[in-house]
Amino acid sequence: MGEPQTPVGPSGQAPVLSSSLMSDEAAAHKPRVFSGVQPTGNLHLGTYLGALRQWVDHQDERDNVFCVVDLHALTVPEEIDPADLTAKSREVAALYFAAGLNPETNIVFIQSHVRAHAELTWLLNCLTPLGWLYRMTQFKSKSDGRESVSTGLLDYPVLQAADILLYDTELVPVGEDQVQHIELTRDIATRYNQLFGDVFKLPKATVPKMGARVMGFDDPEVKMSKSIARERDRHAVHLLDPESRIKKTVMGAVTDSGQEVRFDHASPGVRNLLGIYQSLTGRPMEAIETEFEGQGYGTLKKTVLEAIMETVRPIQERYRTYADDPAQLDAVLARGAERAEAIAEPVLARAKAAVGVGR
């Protein structure tokens, strides 16, 4: 669908040049992209609209590295089920391809298969002030109410910074909730560069104009999330849900007692449905409002449901072909890890040499 994207920087927000302004050489340069999804829970519509779809839509213009970040899934030890984690990592990778990533042109791998991620994390840990990590909103919400919190949960964004910096990444396509982590990555890289020389490239987050923050169907005041969806049936639409379940979730979405389908005056639930519809169809909001003029929320929900099914059905069909051929999937992931390692190792060596460690 080629949805427009917003490059986000920490402060000055240098815009990405439009292709008409680029020299031939710059136009030929494909920016390096890195992004990933944590294999906890099932991938939902938020993950798809916030992240996966922008990966797929822009795959040909970019030099892509996509990862299933299984080491990040270890940060809440009470929730680790080893066999399930291995299976989920492969499921998420298969969903990347089912969503449309080309396995030939994109590097796709599982994070723990490339050791450099853990190793660079240590180097970055040693110069990341604790205060920077305590400020992370995701840490605050994930640690809230827990009796015991692992060091890994606090350190999570440093591992994420290592993921990104290892590939000389320029763009990190993510949903809105991850922008703070990308800004932290820039801060860590800047500090490393100031202390030890010009080691790391500074990456920028890109968030989609639409779908950067999809809210829960059962509670449109909170972001759709894998952890909430584990506890509440009607919270999220998952990419692998059967149609009957998706129907229950969408038709049961929280709206309000009003009648008119208008974005500006709508309650959070109606805005969420309209936002999802806009994101799925790529149509302007005025055209959508005209489409629903004089119609009630029932029609809105049915139409959103159809749009979701149109997106999800082909993903489910393609997913089956990957799930049915595990050997093929493993081969693609093994090749992905090799290609990732070939990029990551020299960057790690550069980072180690700069601080005076390594051979």
Active site residues: 142, 223, 226
- Pattern 115-154, binding to ligand TYM, x per CB under 6 A? ----------------------------------------
Question: Minimum Å distance from CB 294 to ligand TYM?
Answer: 30
Phi-psi category of residue 150: left, alpha or beta, with phi > 0 → left and psi -120 to 50 → alpha: beta
Kindly state whether residue 92 participates in binding ligand TYM, applying the rule CB under 6 A. Answer: no
**Of the residues 124, 172, 199, 240, which one makes contact with ligand TYM according to CB under 6 A:** 172
Sign of the C-alpha dihedral computed for residues 186, 190, 193 and 196 taken in this order: negative
Residue 281's DSSP bridge partners are none
Q: Is position 213 an interface residue for ligand TYM (rule: CB under 6 A)?
A: yes
Determine if 75 is a binding residue for ligand TYM (CB under 6 A): no
* Residue spans of alpha helices (H) in 101-150: 116-125, 130-134, 137-143
Binding span for ligand TYM by CB under 6 A among 102-110, 209-217, 282-290, 320-328 = 209-217
Q: Which of 5, 32, 42, 47 is close enough to bind ligand TYM by CB under 6 A?
A: 47
Pick 275 or 291: Cβ nearer ligand TYM: 275
Region near ligand TYM per CB under 6 A, out of 31-39, 74-82, 324-332, 333-341: 31-39
Using CB under 6 A as the binding rule, whether residue 158 contacts ligand TYM is answered as no
Q: Is 5 in the site for ligand TYM (CB under 6 A)?
A: no
Spell 25-48 as b/e; 16+ CB within 10 A means b: eeeeeebbbbbbbbbbbbbbbbbb
Q: If DSSP codes are grouped into helix, strand and coil, which group holds residue 220?
A: coil
Does 37 engage in binding with ligand TYM (CB under 6 A)?
yes
Long-range contacts of 24-30 (CB under 8 A, 24+ apart): 30/61, 30/62, 30/63
Task: Say how far apart CA 3 and CA 106 lie, in whole Å.
Answer: 20
Q: Which tokens go with 81? A: 């089920």
106 counts as binding ligand TYM under rule CB under 6 A = no
Give the Cα separation of 52 and 36 in Å (integer): 9
Q: Phi/psi class of residue 322: alpha, beta or left (left: φ > 0; alpha: ψ in -120 to 50)?
A: alpha
Choice from 175, 220, 275, 336 touching ligand TYM (CB under 6 A): 175
Question: Which of 5, 35, 249, 311 touches ligand TYM by CB under 6 A?
Answer: 35
User: 109 - beta bridge partners?
Assistant: 67
In the complex, least distance from residue 295 CB atom to ligand TYM, rounded to whole angstroms: 26
Q: Is 36 in the site for ligand TYM (CB under 6 A)?
A: yes
What is the binding site for ligand TYM (CB under 6 A)?
A: 34-38, 46-47, 49-51, 69, 72, 160, 163-164, 172, 174-175, 177-178, 181, 212-214, 223-224
